[in-house]
Amino acid sequence: MRKINWGLIGGGEGSQIGPAHRLAAGLDGAFDLVAGALDHRAEAGRAYAVRLGIARGYGDWREMLEGERGRQGGVQLVTVATPNATHFEITKAFLQAGIHVLCEKPMTMSVAEAEEIVALSRETGAICAVNYGYTGYALVRHMRAMVARGDLGRVRLVVAEFAHGHHAGGDDAENPRVRWRYDPAQAGVSAQFADCGIHALHMASFVIGQEVKRLAADCVSCVEGRVLEDDAQVNLRFDGGAVGRLWTSSVALGRQHGLTLQVFGEKGGLAWAQEQPNQLMWMPLGGRKTVIERGEGGLSPEADRASRVTVGHAEGMPLAFGNIYADLAEAIRARAEGRVMDPAADLYPKAVDGLRSMAAIAAVAESGGVWVDARPPSLR
């Protein structure tokens, strides 16, 4: 099969996100990394591109856009892995050029910008995906399939957590990697919810197939001196009637990652944790708790497609992330071939998910404990 020409913006030497994207995109051999604008220092970026064996290294994203737009064999997909504040303009520019984009989260810095991206993606027909990579896990997709096919009956309650302890030590001057996150000037209106909680909310929506309508958030700063929240409890109401509870924290010492999801319906309950992602606990009403194993026979098409090694062997985050790229490869090919894409692959997070996320973040920041509308204006 013909490889898809892929470009990477950001992810310079020493970054964590660059190797993660290259690893994920490389898993199936579906993408060819042919162009990159890897660093805001033009020379460093070009030199790193050479070292990585990338054919066309650019000094910045504008140069790259010029070089690739309309070129025979130019990039079909670009990944935007630059600082948050730049996501909007880069994504916008490439979409306008008809080039597909996978944007790191947050997609934009405001709801209005996010609305613009959604509209642009619709107008241009270019895909805009957002990297909520945790929904790439096979068993997360299986939870969604179980809910969709009715195994749980009506979903009553969803309980999501993303609570870790990595910022419990405080953010003094010696710790710049932590400090900026709690500074409104650099991070915007929300810290921990925007950074982690939003993953949990996206996953909850993804799994139960309902979008959040209203929320009430209790945000606190546990560490002295912080302006933005390092802990939040968010109560939720979804458009299909489900109630939600979401806790996110960065001061929860003893938790390494802490993304978990529990879904409770009329006919059964599910529990999953990112730190042990290959098992899913399933409790049918009136029955016993059972362990669903990733890779076991007879799971849903969604889970089977997202599973790469045999049962009993651990799969981890890089493969989950790779499944987002696998979905994109299928989406891009289906468009190129003028066919409907495999529905089991149509699970990558889209611009509209990025938009909903921006609205939820704004709502959390605004709530002050009171119920507020969590939907973007265009989707009320």
At 339, list the tokens. Answer: 């066919």
Candidate list 70, 176, 286, 343; residue touching a second copy; CB under 8 A: 286
Q: What is the dihedral of CA 51, 56, 61, 67, to 10 degrees?
A: 170
Q: Rule CB under 8 A: which of 259-278 touch a second copy? A: 262, 264-266, 268-271, 274-278
**Within positions 303 to 332, which residues make up the interface with a second copy, using CB under 8 A?**
308-319
Can residue 254 be called a binding residue for a second copy (CB under 8 A)? Answer: yes
Q: Judged by CB under 8 A, does residue 222 bind a second copy?
A: yes
Q: Minimum CB separation from a second copy for residue 47, in Å? A: 13
The residue within the footprint of a second copy, chosen from 3, 41, 62, 122 (CB under 8 A), is 3
3-state secondary structure of 221: coil
Look at residues 149, 141, 161 and name the one whose alpha carbon lies nearest to residue 262: 161
Phi, psi of 34 (to 5 degrees): -105, -15
Stretch that binds a second copy, among 41-49, 60-68, 287-295, 334-342 (CB under 8 A): 287-295
Measured distance CA(362)–CA(111) in Å, rounded: 8
Pairing of β 372-373 and β 243-249: unpaired
Task: Specify the stretch interacting with a second copy by CB under 8 A; choose among 63-71, 89-97, 103-111, 289-297.
Answer: 289-297
Site map (CB under 8 A) of a second copy, residues 146-165, x = contact: ----------xx-x---xxx
Q: Least separation, in Å, of the C-beta of 33 and a second copy? A: 8
User: Which stretch, 66-74, 81-89, 100-108, 243-251, contacts a second copy (CB under 8 A)?
Assistant: 243-251
Site for a second copy in 52-71 (CB under 8 A): 52-53
* Residue 84 burial by Cβ neighbours in a 10 Å radius (0-12, 13-18, 19+): middle
Does position 354 interact with a second copy (CB under 8 A)? The reply is no
Question: What residues between 6 and 35 interact with a second copy by CB under 8 A?
Answer: 16, 19-20, 22-23, 26-29, 33
Phi, psi dihedrals of residue 265, rounded to the nearest 5°: -120, -175
Phi, psi of 279 (to 5 degrees): -130, 140
Q: Give whichever of 220 and 341 is closer to a second copy, judged by the CB atom.
A: 220
Reduced to 3 states (helix: H, G, I; strand: E, B; else coil), residue 204 is helix
Which residues in the 223-242 window bind a second copy by CB under 8 A?
A: 223, 231, 233, 235
Q: Does 214 bind a second copy (CB under 8 A)?
A: no
Least Cα distance to 356 among 215, 219, 261 occurs for 215
Q: Give the binding-site size for a second copy (rule: CB under 8 A).
A: 85
What does the block give as tokens for 380? 């009320």
Q: Which is nearer to a second copy, 97 or 259 (CB)?
A: 259
Sign of dihedral through CA atoms 32, 34, 35, 41?
positive
Q: Out of 285, 336, 377, 378, which residue is the one contacting a second copy (CB under 8 A)?
A: 285
Q: Is 72 in the site for a second copy (CB under 8 A)?
A: no
Q: Which amino acid is at 198?
A: I
Residue type at position 39? D
